[in-house]
Amino acid sequence: MIALGCDHGGINLKTAIIKYLDERNIEYKDFGCYTDDSVDYPIYAYKVATAVASGEFELGILCCGTGIGISIAANKVKGIRAAVVSNEFGAEMTRRHNNANILCMGGRVTTEDDAVKFTDIFLNTPFSADEERHTRRVQMLKDIENGVFTTD
Ligand code: RB5
């Protein structure tokens, strides 16, 4: 199950992604916003990030004007690795290497067609769990988050 959210700057991308998900019968919940009236992106970042962090949703997708503000907000929630993606390689590698659990994109920098392409790659790429170095590095991210990281 995928958690979706956006602000007014990303609603065009979210609408295109919903069409992609509907065509493939992929289950999702749309946490808003639902119009292009100006809203505050941290609200939607928080709703989607807490939904993913709770384990109820496997992955999330967030869109704002640049993808940046909404990713910063999502990354404040414990357990979230939100990545701003602007090309196909990034969409793949952030799943394979970072085990990103939220894809962020910007409606003012990414086309709807590209956003759908990046979504398809993100949703269909697994984490490289069998490669120890990636598991180790993601664990380091968790240690930083938990205040127990050391460089010794
Ligand atoms: C809203 O105008 C814009 O600031 C927002 O969509 C996003 O780009 C912030 O990072």
Give tens-digit pLDDT for 42-79: 999 999 999 999 999 999 999 999 999 999 999 999 99
Domain ranges of the chain: 2-145
Strand segments (E) across 1-152: 2-6, 28-30, 59-64, 82-84, 102-106
Q: Is 66 in the pocket of ligand 1 (CB under 6 A)?
A: yes
If you take atom 10 of ligand 1, which residue's CA is the nearest one?
69
Q: Is 65 in the pocket of ligand 1 (CB under 6 A)?
A: yes
Could you identify the atom of ligand 1 that is nearest to the CA of residue 10? 6
- CATH class of the domain whose range is 2-145: alpha beta
pTM: 0.97
Q: Is 64 in the pocket of ligand 1 (CB under 6 A)?
A: yes
Give tens-digit pLDDT for 112-134: 999 999 999 999 999 999 999 99
